[in-house]
Structure 1
Amino acid sequence: MSSAPAHRILHLILLGSFVEGCLVCLFFLCYDPSAISILDPVNSPEQTEQGKRVVPKKSNDVVPNSNDDVITVLMWLWPFGVKHELNNCSCLFNIKGCFFTGDRNFYNQADGVIFHHRDLDEDQFNLPKLNRPAFQKWIWMNMESPTNTPRIPTIENLFNLTVSYRQDSTIPVPYGFIEAADGKEEFVLPRKNKLVCWIVSNWKEELVRVKYFNELQKHIKVDTYGSAFGKYVPGVEYWSIITSCKFYLSFENSIHRDYITEKFYNPLSVGTVPVVLGPPRHNYENVIQGDAFIHVDDFSSPKELADHLLLLDKNEEMYLRFFEWKRYFKARRTMFVTEQICLTCDYLRRHKEYETLSNFKEWFWEN
């Protein structure tokens, strides 16, 4: 065996050990026997009286003394068919007393039932056959933009609440958050050996971002990666690539209100300046201060943008100004599906009023 493969294997072994250790630490940090969460329990509810919420006991569950302390959330359709076990709302978000399940036997006890739009679109007749309990809320979950969200005519007036990236959702869960830093710390710029980078898989010539890139690359070198360029990027290398670039093209696949994805938050979190193509600048400034990123709309052409990036490359003082915000804040990605479920539980605990979604088509697809 050559030394290079051996070195790579050793690196992967050490990385695996590190990740395993982190998971073990997270388990002990997040373990809270008072928190309730179940993934597809084997046992059925002990009773299913209409209007009552009864949590069945299992040998490995700790059930609160009062059922009134428990908010039951039922995932009717798992997002993209992938099941999740969520038992750390208390640890991660200080949200306690959440009972989460994918077992439909809990339907009559559920305070809220979540329906993931894409899976509902694929199986529109897979809805509860029983009457909806008076206290129960139906929640529409979606993280795709209107362009990539199939319309379902039958969902009008069907849901009570929404959980999505939209800031005007009942339960807004964006793709990332800008949070206060633990303390005022001096930012240390990571080592940079590339000027502009872009990692992309979805390539369609008619997309605005593709047209813009095709013009931009005529005036500045862009290091490109991803399936669109025949350069698959494994997860281990993804973050190192973004970190090594001074600027990252945070170009969204479609342009819609509040549709600001991980493409924006990832470079922010590792000390790289995002160059954004998406909703207007003021929409991004609802998320973070305006001198933390560059918006393509600020330039009359891709060539003018390229000239500005080349200027910043030569002026370190100007470049470092993009990281002033890091003295007080930090960026993180949303923990899907965990964050959506936990924040839904918290909302259901605090809001008992009745509401229904009307003009759903106008709100999401036409607004």
Structure 2
Amino acid sequence: MKFQIRCFSTILCVLLLILIFFFFFRWRYIDDDGDPIGAVYFTEIHERRTSSFLNDYMESKDNNYFATQNLTVPILVWWTPFTYDTGSYIQCRNQTQCFISNIRKYRDNKQFSAFLFYGTDFRLYDLPLPRYEHEQWSLLHEESPKNNYVFSFESIMNMFNHTATFKRHSDEPLTTQWLASIDDLLDQTYVIDVQEKTQLQKTENLAPIIYIQSDCNTPSDRDLYIKELMKYIQIDSYGSCLHNKDLPENLRNSLETMEHNEILKLVGKYKFALAFENAICTDYITEKFWRPLKVGTVPIVYGSDQFQNFLPDNHSAISILDFATPADLAHYIHKLNINDTLYDFYRHFKLNRIISNDTLLVRTMSTRTWGIHNDRIRGNFINKFECVVCERVHKTRKDSTIKYQAKFEDYGCPPPTTFDRHGKKLERTGNWYRTYVYTRCQVEVFQELIDQKNYSFTEKDLYNAASKRFSPSFQRNEFLR
């Protein structure tokens, strides 16, 4: 009996040690004495704590705590709370160290060096103004302009020193944020023979094209085009948008199931998949683009105007921009659907497991130092972004002549477009174009306030001034088609 109790106690202790190790390995923070504990790994889609967590922590400290903390390395502050980290050290290449926190009060510490902003939460009425000369600003924004149009304007991009966006010109490009490895593109786990795909269209009543999307009001206005395309060819639409076919109930949460094994199997059954992004901008490429390529289905693409640079070869996807009308596109898809040789021409890289040329895709993946899906070895692009800023801050401290400046091309997306009822592309019209123009009015007002050294404006002040400027602008012919 005593032996059994000892064994049970030993097992309990081991389990407890494992739990403690896992906890400290996963989350990092700093104790009241300033000693770092553990390391953190966040997923790109991570659970967000509430701001009350930071507020409670700050209230537990006296007024001078953050300004007088005796830190010996540069301090980087997430102005837009992103990781909800109260404070921790990171160590990057060449033993470079920085202290990172989501607490804004660290700005008063003599070691403070840089702010980090997450683009979706960036607000013109809530910025650390006035900006001091020694402060560096850094932008992380992997999302499309749908989330925040302010980065489509040059004056805003000029405010930053460092960037990590989906643009290839960014300091840390995130163009391949949804692709784990080149091997994923060459893997044949989900590949189905073309003749079997043809048979499945009959036995399982499958359309030639699959569409899975539940974000139905987007700047690309993709559903207007797809609705017209549906007049000429059958499309199975499983998401909320243009819905005509049901997913199994366990696969209906798109965020949780976009890479689910059963979703990949389903997409693999179809010959074609619509890969229409929610907004149109160079290098904005998401799982909609990669997923069909991973399963041996041909993507029909509307998104980045240079998506071909990231294809395995120059004939593995179809662009809607190569066709004058949705009817013309449908005619071409019908042609491929009944011709196995022509269809498999688009799958040559997949069937033969060959990346045929030195594409930008290969170069990008070979130099990328971060991973996805909680990569414990390489971390993720959030870790990488923090280190890029940390290393650059150390360089500018050693040599004050070194300057970093973001470029418009680090984001800088064009105005949104829409389609008419025949699928013809239209510019300078539509609800999302109005959102773009209103944002431009906000940016103009913001810039004028800054030029006047007026830093105390509120959200309401900015809204009222921009609204006055916006309303008359849409009476002008230049904004109407």
TM-score interval, smaller chain: 0.5 to 0.7
Shift of the alpha carbon at 1:321?
Answer: 3.7
Of 300, 310, 320, 2:334 maps to: 310
RMSD of aligned residue pairs (Cα, Å): 4.8
For 2:337, what is the secondary structure of its paired residue? helix
What is residue 116 of structure 1 aligned with on the other side?
118
Whole-angstrom distance in 2 between the partners of 1:216 and 1:273: 17
What is residue 298 of structure 1 aligned with on the other side?
322
For 2:224, what is the secondary structure of its paired residue? helix
For 1:290, what is the secondary structure of its paired residue? coil
Shift of the alpha carbon at 1:113?
Answer: 1.8
Whole-angstrom distance in 2 between the partners of 1:310 and 1:95: 58
CA contact (8 A) 1:73 1:114 kept: yes
Shift of the alpha carbon at 1:251?
Answer: 1.0
Shift of the alpha carbon at 1:204?
Answer: 4.5
Which residues in structure 2 correspond to 1:214-363 (within 5 Å)? 214-229=227-242, 233-235=252-254, 238=258, 239=260, 240=263, 241-280=266-305, 283-288=306-311, 289-326=313-350, 327-328=353-354, 338-346=380-388, 348-349=390-391, 352=396, 353-357=402-406
The amino acid that maps onto 1:319 is Y
Whole-angstrom distance in 1 between the partners of 2:285 and 2:278: 10
Whole-angstrom distance in 1 between the partners of 2:225 and 2:118: 33
Whole-angstrom distance in 1 between the partners of 2:156 and 2:333: 46
Whole-angstrom distance in 2 between the partners of 1:178 and 1:163: 16
Structure with greater helix percent: 2
CA contact (8 A) 1:212 1:302 kept: yes
CA contact (8 A) 2:165 2:410 kept: no
Whole-angstrom distance in 1 between the partners of 2:70 and 2:373: 28
The amino acid that maps onto 2:280 is I
Question: Could you list the runs of 5+ residues in structure 2 that have no partner in the other structure?
Answer: 1-18, 29-35, 42-48, 201-205, 356-361, 397-401, 416-481
Shift of the alpha carbon at 1:160?
Answer: 1.6
What is residue 58 of structure 1 aligned with on the other side?
none
What is residue 71 of structure 2 aligned with on the other side?
54
Shift of the alpha carbon at 1:246?
Answer: 2.2
Q: How many residues align?
A: 315
For 1:141, what is the secondary structure of its paired residue? strand
The amino acid that maps onto 2:346 is F
Shift of the alpha carbon at 1:173?
Answer: 1.6
Which residues in structure 2 correspond to 1:110-259 (within 5 Å)? 110-121=112-123, 124-128=124-128, 132=132, 134=134, 136-146=135-145, 149-151=148-150, 155=156, 157-174=158-175, 176=177, 181=182, 187-191=188-192, 192=197, 193=200, 194=206, 195-204=208-217, 208-229=221-242, 233-235=252-254, 238=258, 239=260, 240=263, 241-259=266-284
For 2:309, what is the secondary structure of its paired residue? coil
Query: Kindly tell me: are residues 343 and 325 of structure 1, through their superposed partners in 2, closer, same or farther at Cα, counting changes over 3 Å?
Result: farther
What is residue 364 of structure 1 aligned with on the other side?
412
Whole-angstrom distance in 2 between the partners of 1:245 and 1:90: 46
Query: Kindly tell me: are residues 117 and 176 of structure 1, through their superposed partners in 2, closer, same or farther at Cα, counting changes over 3 Å?
Result: closer
For 1:115, what is the secondary structure of its paired residue? strand
TM-score (norm 1): 0.65
Whole-angstrom distance in 1 between the partners of 2:112 and 2:299: 42
For 1:223, what is the secondary structure of its paired residue? strand
CA contact (8 A) 1:37 1:100 kept: no
For 2:225, what is the secondary structure of its paired residue? helix
Whole-angstrom distance in 2 between the partners of 1:171 and 1:315: 42
Query: Kindly tell me: are residues 183 and 76 of structure 1, through their superposed partners in 2, closer, same or farther at Cα, counting changes over 3 Å?
Result: closer
Structure of higher CA gyration radius: 2
Whole-angstrom distance in 2 between the partners of 1:90 and 1:324: 43
Whole-angstrom distance in 2 between the partners of 1:94 and 1:328: 37
Shift of the alpha carbon at 1:366?
Answer: 5.4
Which residues in structure 2 correspond to 1:81-92 (within 5 Å)? 83=84
Query: Kindly tell me: are residues 185 and 168 of structure 1, through their superposed partners in 2, closer, same or farther at Cα, counting changes over 3 Å?
Result: closer
The amino acid that maps onto 1:112 is A
CA contact (8 A) 1:36 1:98 kept: no
Query: Kindly tell me: are residues 47 and 298 of structure 1, through their superposed partners in 2, closer, same or farther at Cα, counting changes over 3 Å?
Result: closer
